[in-house]
Amino acid sequence: MANGYYDIPLGNNIKLYGTAGVGGAQVSYENVAQTTQNYNYSVKVSTLACQIGAGFTKPVANDVTLDLRYRYFATPDFTVNWDYKGTDYSNNTRINSHSILLGLRVGL
Protein backbone atom coordinates (compact mmCIF):
# COMPACT_ATOMS: atom_id res chain seq x y z
CA MET A 1 0.00 0.00 0.00
CA ALA A 2 1.32 3.46 -0.90
CA ASN A 3 0.65 6.04 1.83
CA GLY A 4 1.01 9.79 2.11
CA TYR A 5 1.25 11.87 5.30
CA TYR A 6 0.71 15.55 6.07
CA ASP A 7 2.08 16.97 9.35
CA ILE A 8 0.68 20.00 11.18
CA PRO A 9 2.86 21.29 14.08
CA LEU A 10 0.75 22.23 17.13
CA GLY A 11 3.51 23.43 19.50
CA ASN A 12 5.33 21.76 22.42
CA ASN A 13 6.79 19.31 19.85
CA ILE A 14 3.32 17.80 19.27
CA LYS A 15 2.24 17.20 15.67
CA LEU A 16 -1.16 16.37 14.23
CA TYR A 17 -1.05 14.44 10.97
CA GLY A 18 -3.39 13.09 8.33
CA THR A 19 -2.70 10.06 6.19
CA ALA A 20 -4.24 8.35 3.17
CA GLY A 21 -3.21 5.33 1.16
CA VAL A 22 -4.23 3.04 -1.66
CA GLY A 23 -2.98 -0.38 -2.69
CA GLY A 24 -3.89 -4.04 -2.57
CA ALA A 25 -5.11 -6.46 0.07
CA GLN A 26 -5.24 -10.24 0.18
CA VAL A 27 -8.40 -11.49 1.86
CA SER A 28 -8.44 -15.04 3.26
CA TYR A 29 -11.59 -16.96 4.11
CA GLU A 30 -11.19 -19.99 6.36
CA ASN A 31 -13.82 -22.72 6.80
CA VAL A 32 -16.07 -21.35 4.06
CA ALA A 33 -19.74 -22.28 4.57
CA GLN A 34 -22.80 -22.27 2.32
CA THR A 35 -26.01 -21.99 4.42
CA THR A 36 -25.58 -24.29 7.44
CA GLN A 37 -23.03 -26.67 5.92
CA ASN A 38 -19.39 -26.06 6.86
CA TYR A 39 -17.11 -27.26 4.08
CA ASN A 40 -13.80 -26.64 5.87
CA TYR A 41 -12.58 -24.98 2.66
CA SER A 42 -10.29 -21.93 2.36
CA VAL A 43 -10.31 -19.19 -0.29
CA LYS A 44 -7.85 -16.32 -0.93
CA VAL A 45 -8.74 -13.25 -2.99
CA SER A 46 -6.69 -10.16 -3.91
CA THR A 47 -8.51 -6.83 -4.21
CA LEU A 48 -8.02 -3.07 -4.14
CA ALA A 49 -7.82 -1.43 -0.69
CA CYS A 50 -7.61 2.08 0.75
CA GLN A 51 -7.13 3.67 4.14
CA ILE A 52 -7.41 7.11 5.74
CA GLY A 53 -6.46 8.24 9.19
CA ALA A 54 -5.28 10.92 11.56
CA GLY A 55 -3.04 10.96 14.58
CA PHE A 56 -0.76 12.77 16.99
CA THR A 57 2.97 12.41 17.60
CA LYS A 58 4.98 13.54 20.63
CA PRO A 59 8.72 13.04 21.21
CA VAL A 60 9.38 11.12 24.46
CA ALA A 61 13.19 10.77 24.24
CA ASN A 62 16.03 11.38 21.80
CA ASP A 63 15.02 9.76 18.49
CA VAL A 64 11.88 8.17 20.07
CA THR A 65 8.37 9.48 19.30
CA LEU A 66 5.02 8.32 20.65
CA ASP A 67 2.42 7.87 17.89
CA LEU A 68 -1.35 7.59 18.51
CA ARG A 69 -3.58 7.25 15.45
CA TYR A 70 -7.01 6.31 14.14
CA ARG A 71 -7.23 4.34 10.86
CA TYR A 72 -10.18 3.43 8.64
CA PHE A 73 -9.40 0.60 6.18
CA ALA A 74 -11.76 -0.52 3.39
CA THR A 75 -12.06 -2.47 0.16
CA PRO A 76 -14.63 -1.92 -2.58
CA ASP A 77 -17.20 -4.65 -3.25
CA PHE A 78 -15.58 -7.81 -4.62
CA THR A 79 -16.71 -11.33 -5.44
CA VAL A 80 -15.30 -14.51 -3.92
CA ASN A 81 -15.76 -17.63 -6.05
CA TRP A 82 -15.05 -21.20 -5.02
CA ASP A 83 -15.89 -24.72 -6.10
CA TYR A 84 -16.84 -27.49 -3.73
CA LYS A 85 -17.46 -31.01 -5.00
CA GLY A 86 -18.32 -29.78 -8.49
CA THR A 87 -20.69 -27.00 -7.36
CA ASP A 88 -19.74 -23.36 -7.96
CA TYR A 89 -20.41 -20.87 -5.17
CA SER A 90 -19.87 -17.12 -4.97
CA ASN A 91 -20.21 -14.40 -2.38
CA ASN A 92 -20.23 -10.61 -2.93
CA THR A 93 -18.66 -8.80 -0.02
CA ARG A 94 -16.40 -5.97 1.13
CA ILE A 95 -14.12 -5.44 4.11
CA ASN A 96 -13.85 -2.39 6.36
CA SER A 97 -12.35 -1.81 9.78
CA HIS A 98 -11.73 0.94 12.32
CA SER A 99 -8.50 0.82 14.34
CA ILE A 100 -6.83 2.79 17.11
CA LEU A 101 -3.06 2.28 16.98
CA LEU A 102 -0.45 3.19 19.57
CA GLY A 103 3.20 2.90 18.66
CA LEU A 104 6.74 4.17 19.03
CA ARG A 105 8.79 5.59 16.17
CA VAL A 106 12.51 5.05 16.62
CA GLY A 107 14.95 7.08 14.49
CA LEU A 108 18.53 6.01 14.07
Residuewise pLDDT in 10s, the chain (108 residues): 999 999 999 998 999 999 999 999 998 877 666 555 656 667 788 899 999 999 999 999 999 999 999 999 999 988 877 776 777 777 788 899 999 999 999 987
Given a contact cutoff of 8 angstroms between Cβ atoms, the answer to whether 35 and 42 are in contact is no
Provide the residue type at 61 as one letter: A
Given a contact cutoff of 8 angstroms between Cβ atoms, the answer to whether 67 and 24 are in contact is no
Provide the residue type at 51 as one letter: Q
